[in-house]
Structure 1
Amino acid sequence: MLDSSPKLQILKLDGSCREYCPVGCEWIQPKCVRECLLLHLETLVWTRYEWEREDVKQVATYILKNARQLRKATFYPTCVGPKELEKLEKRREMLNELASVARGSTSCHLVFESE
């Protein structure tokens, strides 16, 4: 997808991909960073960000580290029920980890929103 969009400025991802990429599938990091990430991507919006999945975290980290022109990255993490305090704490830890990732763009503003 990224190869066919070399000047991509806005990337919107929807995390509801379980039927296409079940839990346990591996994300394979590309050998070279695509031009659109290095030179053009300014906005990332990721709805239903599945914070519990390691492969999803790897993709998000890869984008944040390599998108040199990224101005804003907005994540809408999947919800946690009000009675699942342990899970809520785990989600907070995972989102803090993502927030601490070294970014390719020094002006990137990271936002976490509720759906």
Structure 2
Amino acid sequence: MDNLRFYTLEKFINLYDGYRKVFKIDHYNLILLQLDGQRYLLESTCPHRAHPLSESDISGAELRCPLHGYRFNIASGDLVHATEETCRGLKKYELVERETDIGVML
């Protein structure tokens, strides 16, 4: 069994709707988003061609990769639309709240 460790990502006071920040923790590339009061933590590279999603477009509940236009559901990470061959969805990570911080167990 793996020993998980808590990694602080951000202070609650710094979060707002439209917040977007990329984190690199060991071999994990993550993107933290806040939309309509909800926070999401997903892998930050598109599984199609590993393009960074830091500058991706967000429309409604979808995140769009700027390279080929693949679209993913932000809440689930599921692939919604592929423009070329199909790929897997984005990995989603559970956020953990600790006092004044939000983070992840990895």
TM-score normalised according to structure 2 size: 0.27
Q: Where is the strand percentage greater, Structure 1 or Structure 2?
A: 2
Q: Where is the helix percentage greater, Structure 1 or Structure 2?
A: 1
TM-score normalised according to structure 1 size: 0.25
